[in-house]
Amino acid sequence: MSMLEVKVDGLALDMTTNSPVVILAPINLNKVLPIWIGHSEAWAIAMELSGIGSKRPMTHDLLKAVIASLSAQLEKVEITELKDQTFYARLLLNVSGTILAIDARPSDSIALALKWGAPIYAEEGLFNLQEGEQKIDLSNDPESLADRLKKINPEDFGKYSL
């Protein structure tokens, strides 16, 4: 399993499904990995990306506080696989020198990684998703999802109340 370090390249709104999409991009590679997420997770990620805090702890703030109060630290997040149209991820927590791998949704994992300033990794094979026998390279296909997502006005995402 080969992991690539990724960054959150942005958030978009898929107009066909009215669903938020977080876009991950490997560092120093021209590819993207779009992951459809829930509205509340998109809100949490957007708040972290924009540096906006909340007056009271939100769910991801609470989880970070619980992890820290147990003297643990989030080392990194890994987006590991796509199975039955569902992405899987894990949090790698350092608890007194022991690394624990905790199963988690990618959206929650990304929000926590942003809160901790922890690195995010994704399985390299996820960037060449299969559709039947044909590989889809999201970076080169002119009609690709990546191009369609880049055309979405980011302000459209902010018009939805969460």
pLDDT at 54: 87
CA count, 13 A, side-chain hemisphere, 131 = 6
Give the pLDDT of residue 75.
Answer: 98
Query: In this model, does residue 160 exceed pLDDT 60?
Result: no
Higher per-residue pLDDT: 56 or 144: 56
pLDDT tens digits, one per residue of 116-139: 999 999 999 999 864 433 333 344
For residue 23, list its beta bridge partners.
10, 34
Q: Note the pLDDT of residue 15.
A: 86
**Per-residue pLDDT tens for 47-73?**
999 998 888 989 999 999 999 999 999
pLDDT of residue 123: 96
What per-residue confidence (pLDDT) applies to 131?
A: 40
Predicted confidence at residue 140, as pLDDT, reads 39
The model's pTM is 0.79
What's the topology of domain 3-158?
Bifunctional nuclease domain (3.10.690)
CA angle 60, 65, 68 (to 5 degrees): 125
Q: What is the pLDDT of residue 91?
A: 98
Question: Count of alpha carbons within 13 Å of 10, Cβ hemisphere only?
Answer: 14
